[in-house]
Structure 1
Amino acid sequence: MNTIKRIDPRRPFIVTAEGLKRITLGEIGDGGDVQAFAHGGHKSDVKPRRTTKPARRSMLVAAHTDRGALDDHARQALAAAALLADDETEVVLIAFGAFSDDAASLGADRYIALDAFDRRRYAPDEELRALAACVAAFAPAHVFMPDNATGDGDLGRRYAAQADASIATNIVEIDASHVASYAHAGRAFATRALADVMLLAPNAVDAKLPFVGAGERVASEGIVPASTESAYVDLGIEEMDAAQVALEEADFIISAGNGVSDIPAFEALASTLGAAIGASRVAVDDGKFTRDKQIGATGKTVEASVYIAFGISGAVQHLQGIKDCRHVIAVNLDASAPIAKRANLTIVADTQETIKALTDAAAAARAARASGASIVETSLAEGAFA
């Protein structure tokens, strides 16, 4: 007689930090009673506060947000400050842009959200004044920033030049006594003591922390000066057709697999959503897409913030190509497909029906937005001539 018991997939589950469902062992449920696990072993996962002592010193982390959140690179810079801080040092985050992340779980003890700034707005003088004001207010031992090409690296260098501060760039290794960077085209390793301003390369630090910060919000009034007239004129961002963006640089990708039969409808959805187009190897081999659209170990590796896979089962080679994507959504009739294990959200539905529904919903949302904008413009025009 077979005495092996099958794990009930309807057991209560928890959602991990990666957004994946994990069945809670030792609990019995009837279809995902998510309240049942709250009183189980999950309590032990609560992380302790890094420190509860009064702060005598501070470390400052500055980074731009994207749609209210810090990207992985910025989280790593914040983690570096939190790991180097002792029990009498607080970690202060200066978020340039709207901020809706959990500051405590990211390791920040206090944070200031500067909603007036945004990655899409070019205001270097105002950002420099804001950063300098925050440094003057908190007098940090060090300033940490991600060394990227989307504003933070430029801002860090501008501040160091203005304040005549020491700076270390493209840091790939850091501890309490030194930082290190590659030199001579990667053939040498340069080290130095900690600098006033430290710009970290991607993946220099693991962003996952064993503790949390206090996460207290600080009002920017009285710290950050009011906006003044800038010597720069922001001409805005030139919009580019998503289909012309290289997949390696695309932030939003929808990808088709063997389950997509209506290619024109799929391309219409990509156009409506403003997403770049990718494909699985099977879809490329079938001649549905050109080889430059192939994603996977034998194609291209992508790092999109949002990746939607339509009708892709998720072979190992394809999963390697999307391992660095932040949010993965899978649309597939097979709930047990390998890609469902990687996906943050799996939609078990017909691919073509889902494509049509998304296209209709996106088109309706755009029409409503355009209609609302027209009403506002008309009201303003009528008010001007009243």
Structure 2
Amino acid sequence: MSRPRRDPRAERASHRVAGEGPRPRYDRTRTAAGSGRLRRNPRAERAAQRIGGGARPRYDVSQAARPVGDAVAAAPRTMPAAEAPKTIILEAPAFLVAVVPDAPGGRLSGHDRQVLGAARALAGREGGVAVVVDGACEGLGAAGADRVLRCEGAEGYDPEARAARVEAALAALGARHVLFPESLDGGDLARRVAVGLNEALFTHAEVVAAKGLVRPARGRRVEQSLAPPRLATVAPDAVADYAGPPREARALPFEGAPPPDTPKRIVSATRIQADPATVPLALAEFVVSAGNGLTDLDTFRRVVTALHATPGASRVLCDAGLMPRHSQVGASGTVLAATCYFALGISGAPQHLQGVAGCEHVVAVNTDLHAAMIERAGLAVVQDAQAVMPALLRLLAQENGEQAAGEEMAP
């Protein structure tokens, strides 16, 4: 509570005895008169500035500049609710820029997101981005798609049939520009579509803008630029992802004529998965790394085998000779481009974080809540990795047992 503030000058004046004399005289028995102003209570002011609703205390210091004598309101404040980003709806785009992503497994890859970012730069404010995919695909609106045209995918590996479906979809869309990822599948599809449509293809574009596309040539000694063509491929890691608000991703009905049945020249094609234990770290999709917080490396190797991952390690374990040098992750080791990175007992030195900057998903297990790797991770487990690994092995064994039992019961 507030109490009257002392005013020494007023108190001294009230003690002075009236009368003339060469020297002033004071009566200390009189009651001192205060100034009437309220004394500040810093604790009450600080409590009034606190914003509730969070685990950590937060304060509103906008009342710090009030005059000394003013009372501070002690009404509780609540943390403002975060507004969800508004979805951008483009009703009638002036033109369309089509994107044909690889979308392995029904989800966009990092390269696909970059191609969508290039398409958004090419479309500008008035144009729309339409995605042509086989079957369902996740995250198209957040990646910048205004329209989605889904085609019925064929069974097995049939690039000629897929090229025919894409040609029919592009004819139905009437897109002004079409972008493909310059990848193994995307580059092959782009060249098949270019031959089928009898149009030129601008490949390996590294700069995509409304004014034109640019690519390196002659051993990267010169640059070739061209006004935006109709068909083009985008090089990996050349264009940034779309970082704006989510788009509508409205589904479009396929109104074009179905592609004619073409004889299947490829009878059978199967992708043979490489052994994750021998895959180089730079090419690995799933990496599980051990840090200085691990002492049981035998259990760690069992976890890597059970997860079908590629083993990695921090510099501390490699310098100690506990892990081979080629498994070192970081700026001084191997820079990863994996889809998922699983860190066990790694605190996260700056050089190590540079090595996992290109990973799409990061999972970390560490006892330190404030470790840099915990802050970098999308999913963090604050626990001793030595206790997490056996529990993870038990869960994997239980899941494998249930799958085996289900396969035996199936007719």
Does 2:371 match 1:372? Answer: no
Does 2:384 match 1:342? Answer: no
Q: In the aligned structure 2, how far is the partner of 1:152 from the partner of 1:269?
A: 34
Shift of 1:219: 4.4
Does 2:170 match 1:131? Answer: no
**1:112 alignment counterpart:** 149
Rg bigger for which structure? 2
**Structure 1 unaligned blocks of 5 or more:** 14-22, 28-35, 380-386
Q: Per chain length, whose mean CA-contact separation is higher, i.e. which structure has more relative contact order (CA < 8 Å, sep 6+)? A: 1
Q: Secondary structure at the match of 2:114?
A: helix
Give the superposed CA RMSD: 2.8
**1:362 alignment counterpart:** 396
Q: Look up the equivalent residue of 2:90 and give its one-letter code.
A: T
- The TM-score normalised by the length of structure 1 is 0.82
Q: Which of these residues, 205, 210, 232, is aligned with residue 266 of structure 2? A: 232
**2:37 alignment counterpart:** none
Q: Secondary structure at the match of 1:158?
A: helix
Q: Output aligned runs, 1:76-91, within 5 Å.
A: 76-91=114-129
Q: Look up the equivalent residue of 2:180 and give its one-letter code.
A: M
**2:192 alignment counterpart:** 158
**1:32 alignment counterpart:** none
Q: In the aligned structure 2, how far is the partner of 1:126 from the partner of 1:353?
A: 51
Report Cα offsets for 1:247-300 as digits up to 9, x if no partner.
100000100011111111111111111000000011112221110111111111
Structure 1 285/97 Cα, relative in aligned 2: closer, same or farther at 3 Å? farther
Shift of 1:86: 4.7
Q: Output aligned runs, 1:45-56, within 5 Å.
A: 46-47=85-86, 49=88, 52-56=90-94
Does 2:315 match 1:304? Answer: no
The farther-off stretch of 300-309 and 77-86 is 77-86
Structure 1 63/272 Cα, relative in aligned 2: closer, same or farther at 3 Å? same
Report Cα offsets for 1:120-176 as digits up to 9, x if no partner.
x52201210110111111111110111112x11110111111211121111011211
Q: Look up the equivalent residue of 1:46 and give its one-letter code.
A: P
**1:61 alignment counterpart:** 99
Whether contact under 8 Å (1:63, 1:95) holds in the other structure is yes
Whether contact under 8 Å (1:53, 1:87) holds in the other structure is no
Q: Output aligned runs, 1:262-301, within 5 Å.
A: 262-301=296-335
Does 2:231 match 1:197? Answer: yes
Does 2:183 match 1:144? Answer: no
Q: Secondary structure at the match of 2:342?
A: strand
Quick one: percent identity of the two aligned structures?
A: 31
Structure 1 216/126 Cα, relative in aligned 2: closer, same or farther at 3 Å? same
Q: In the aligned structure 1, how far is the partner of 2:194 from the partner of 2:209?
A: 21
Whether contact under 8 Å (2:294, 2:344) holds in the other structure is yes
- The TM-score normalised by the length of structure 2 is 0.77
**Structure 2 unaligned blocks of 5 or more:** 1-41, 61-77
Shift of 1:237: 1.7
